[in-house]
Amino acid sequence: MGDIFDYLKWRGDLSFSIIPFNEIDNLICSRISYFPLELILKKNEKITLGNLYMTLLDHKKALKKEEDLELLRLLCVSERYKYLTLANFESDTNFTEEKQFAAVTIELPEDILYISFRGTDNTFIGWKEDFNMTFLETIPSRESAANYLNNTHVGIKTKLYVGGHSKGGNLAVYAAMKANINIKRKIITVFNNDGPGFLEDVIESPEYKLIEKKIKTYIPQSSVVGRLLNSNNIYQVIKSDEIFLLQHDLFSWKLECDHFEYLNEVNQNSDFVKEVMNEWLAQMSKEERENFADILYKILTSTNKTTFKELSKNKFMAMKDMLSSYKNLSEKDKKMTMQILEYLYKSIKDSTLKKSLTQN
């Protein structure tokens, strides 16, 4: 049993011609889009993974997680990865449009590309856009993902992998749905690594049905994010050595050689949270979901911070600002917020009762 660091040590010296692209390579490629490439790459510039490590060393504080630095180091010395080129990087965080988007094209051997969509980052606007999925059939980053994939410059022989982790997995599925027919034909697999689902109308659409068989979804045993909203419920459960919500971290996912360590099913925690969230959302109208998201976002941004990392540096002042913001809400907004929190309490209570009756 190992993780992606072990994989690079076991397989890093073997080219893709010896060991073909596999699901662990997918996981690594989905993480690459999280690297702060916006700090070093201008539009239409390229860089090999072998050169990326030294280039990003001056910006290591901008890496999303500490593990990213070690991942970068291993990639840059790996015969398997160091010659791969990153191209067509795009990033767009727009507070007015409530959009957080980034994507990069990874050029694999034999004229194959992996289109990697970045998941949610540490920004409030990234979180807000995620919540917008609960009442909107599409969100700005999905449209950007679709445009990015359709504008990818591919040759006649080019084949495509499309993937991402967390929201990036959701963007990958949506982009494949909206791809023109020529692009769709070139897609080998769409990798959704613990990404959320969609509203029911999207799942039932002809566009989704066209690419459904190409989607591979992986979720850890206590998955929360990957079970939000609707999906086709066809997924592979993989082992994580973390607990509950921390299992969303792909660095905790366990593997055996060239494939994940699989489990037969998710655990009761995952089923419980899915049931609670579905019941909670079912009690709210789309308008209530939208208003609730707007209010929470307003409260968070009242701290004059833009990320959860900044918020954690002075929790006392942040809490003071947020409480002050809540007190300044209109009576209508306060009443609606409390009602929605009551919905959540009721959903937890009802699901706990059902779970207790089932066990007895």
Interval 103-139: pLDDT, tens: 999 999 999 999 999 998 667 777 777 778 888 878 9
| pLDDT recorded at residue 121 | 66
More confident residue, 315 or 335: 335
Across all residues in the chain, what is the average pLDDT?
89
H-run or E-run covering 315: helix 315-327
Question: What does the pLDDT read at residue 113?
Answer: 97
What is the reported pTM? 0.89
In contact, 255 and 3? CB cutoff 8 Å = yes
In this prediction, residue 153 carries a pLDDT of: 76
Neighbouring-strand partners of residue 265: none
pLDDT band for position 46 (cuts 50, 70, 90): very high
162-201 tens-digit pLDDT: 999 999 999 999 999 999 999 999 999 999 999 988 988 8
Q: What is the pLDDT of residues 139-167, one digit of tens each?
A: 999 999 999 999 987 887 899 999 999 99
Region 271-281: mean pLDDT is 82
Pairing of strands 262-263, 255-256: unpaired
The rounded distance, in Å, linking the Cα atoms of 245 and 226 is 11
Q: What is the mean pLDDT of residues 64-83?
A: 94
Beta strands across the sheet bearing 236-238 = 47-48, 85-94, 99-108, 112-117, 159-165, 187-193, 215-220, 236-238, 262-263
For residue 360, pLDDT beyond 60: no
pLDDT at residue 279 in the model: 84
SS3 139: coil
Tell me phi and psi for residue 45, to 5 degrees: -85, 155
User: By three-state DSSP, how is residue 64 classified?
Assistant: coil
CB atoms within 10 A of CB 124: 22
What average pLDDT does this structure show over 310-327?
A: 80
How much is the pLDDT for 128? 79
Residue with more model confidence, 230 or 33: 33
Q: What pLDDT was estimated at residue 356?
A: 62
Average pLDDT over residues 88-103: 91
**pLDDT computed for residue 309 by the predictor:** 67
Residue 23 corresponds to which tokens in the numbers above?
């699901």
The larger pLDDT score, comparing residue 249 to residue 316, is at 249
Q: Is the pLDDT of residue 282 over 80?
A: yes
pLDDT of 220-241, one tens digit each?
A: 999 888 888 877 778 999 999 9
pLDDT at 44: 86
Domains of the chain, CATH where assigned:
4-267 (3.40.50), 284-359 (no CATH)
- pLDDT value, residue 314: 77
Query: Per DSSP, which regions of the chain are E strands?
Result: 47-48, 85-94, 99-108, 112-117, 159-165, 187-193, 215-220, 236-238, 255-256, 259-260, 262-263
Please check the confidence at residue 260 and state whether its pLDDT lies above 70. Answer: yes
Q: Residue written as tokens 């009756």? A: 357
Give the pLDDT confidence score for residue 355 in this predicted structure: 63
